[in-house]
Amino acid sequence: MNVTQQIVNAIWLGGVYSLFALGYALVFSVLGVLNLAHSAVFMWGAFIGLTVVTRFSLPIWLAIPVAMLGAGIIGIILDLVAFAPLRRRNAPRISQLISSIGAAILLVNIAQFAFGTQPQRFPSGTIPNQALEGLPFRITPIQVIILIISLVLMALLQYLVMRTRIGQAMRAVAFNQRVAGLLGINSGGIFQLTFFLAGALAGAAGVLYGLAYNSMTPFMGDGVALKGLTVIVLGGLGNIQGAVVGGFLVAALEVFSIAAGSSNYRDAIVFTLLFLILLFRPQGLVGQKIETRA
């Protein structure tokens, strides 16, 4: 096994997983609910990006912001339709979880109707895919770009949450919605912002993932959903830094199990990891206590 090569693979793939999982972590930390429609938003992001490139013949660097915007808006709609009405009725968290499963099914069905079920690809030449030369391992420009974009978006998110006024409001709402209200913060607006950001991250991850594997179907979110959930359990549910670290760990686990010849079992291995963490370290491997959740 070429270890250097596997580490390189794990790093760029980890970027996508972290980006994707951050959306789960963000919604969980602010609202305390798991949004199981997140992977469907991811898939929609990929298809929005694809549509921008194929239907409108726009360059890929435009596809990513458009997909982020589109998926962000889907995130807001998701909140308005699947979460906000339940929140207003003080419905238990479990019913919000189930509502998000319903929304996921609906989003996948609409995508099947709109885009069909055949795998679709970005036109060849969207991004050059011959490996960079002169390196001791194989890496393509797209993989480099994926890693850079993931890291930049993660840094921006970290900055937004930790350093800006609106980020502080998000953390206040995450800590306690009533107290946030007493501070003059409109939680409803913060919830929508959170869903927008989570959607935008999923959208970016969707396009990047679509570019990396160049095969998109309405069901492409299923496999990623499992990995994303493992990532956030690993990182400690609402923990943003934990989600980043967890993304790279899960990618490494996957990449190395494929390299070790057990590619048929890669999902089973991730599942086993999920099971073991839930059993032995339900607070997550990475973080101390959850940063934002009270």
Partner 1 sequence: MALLEINQLHAGYGAIKALRGITFKVEQAQVVSLIGANGAGKSTTLNTISGLIKPAAGTIRFDGTDITGWRADRITRRQLVQVPEGRQIIATMTVLENLMLGAYHRQDKAGIEQDLERIFERFKRLNERRHQKAGSMSGGEQQMLAVGRALMARPRLLMLDEPSMGLAPLLVTEVFSIIADIKEQGIPILLVEQNARKALQIADYAYVLERGEIVHEGRADQLRADPAIISAYLG
Count of residues engaged in binding partner 1, rule: CB under 8 A: 20
Contact between 125 and partner 1 per CB under 8 A: no
Residue nearer to partner 1 on the CB measure, 4 or 176: 176
DSSP-based three-state secondary structure for 231: helix
Angstrom distance (rounded) from CA 139 to CA 122: 19
Region 272-291 residues binding partner 1, contact defined as CB under 8 A = 291
Region 187-216 residues binding partner 1, contact defined as CB under 8 A = 187
Contact between 175 and partner 1 per CB under 8 A: yes
The only residue of 95, 164, 186, 262 in contact with partner 1, by rule CB under 8 A: 186
Query: What is the DSSP-derived secondary structure letter of residue 131?
Result: P
The CA distances from residue 69 to 28, 201, 264, in Å, are 21, 10, 36
Say how many Å lie between the first and final Cα of the chain, rounded. 45
Residue nearer to partner 1 on the CB measure, 183 or 268: 183
Cβ–Cβ under 8 Å, residues 192 and 79: yes
Q: Is 207 exposed, middle or buried (0-12, 13-18, 19+ CB in 10 A)?
A: buried
> Which part of the chain contacts partner 1 (CB under 8 A), choosing from 63-71, 135-143, 184-192, 257-265?
184-192
CB of 237 vs partner 1, minimal distance in Å: 15
CB of 185 vs partner 1, minimal distance in Å: 6
Beta bridge partners of 120: 216
Structure tokens at 235: 């990182």
Residue nearer to partner 1 on the CB measure, 168 or 241: 168
CB of 284 vs partner 1, minimal distance in Å: 16
234 closest CA partner among 173, 178, 283, 293:
283
Amino acid in position 282: P
Region 147-166 residues binding partner 1, contact defined as CB under 8 A = 165
Contact between 262 and partner 1 per CB under 8 A: no
CB of 240 vs partner 1, minimal distance in Å: 12
The only residue of 5, 158, 168, 214 in contact with partner 1, by rule CB under 8 A: 168
The only residue of 125, 178, 261, 279 in contact with partner 1, by rule CB under 8 A: 178
CB neighbour list of residue 114: distance below 8 Å, 6 or more residues apart? 47
The only residue of 86, 169, 233, 249 in contact with partner 1, by rule CB under 8 A: 169
CB of 180 vs partner 1, minimal distance in Å: 8
CB neighbour list of residue 218: distance below 8 Å, 6 or more residues apart? 43, 47, 108, 111, 112, 115, 117
46 closest CA partner among 268, 209, 229, 157:
209
Contact between 88 and partner 1 per CB under 8 A: no
Q: Whose structure tokens read 């990449």?
A: 255
CB of 9 vs partner 1, minimal distance in Å: 36
CB of 179 vs partner 1, minimal distance in Å: 5
Contact between 92 and partner 1 per CB under 8 A: no
Which residues would be at the binding site for partner 1 (CB under 8 A)?
Answer: 165, 168-169, 171-172, 175-176, 178-187, 291-292, 294
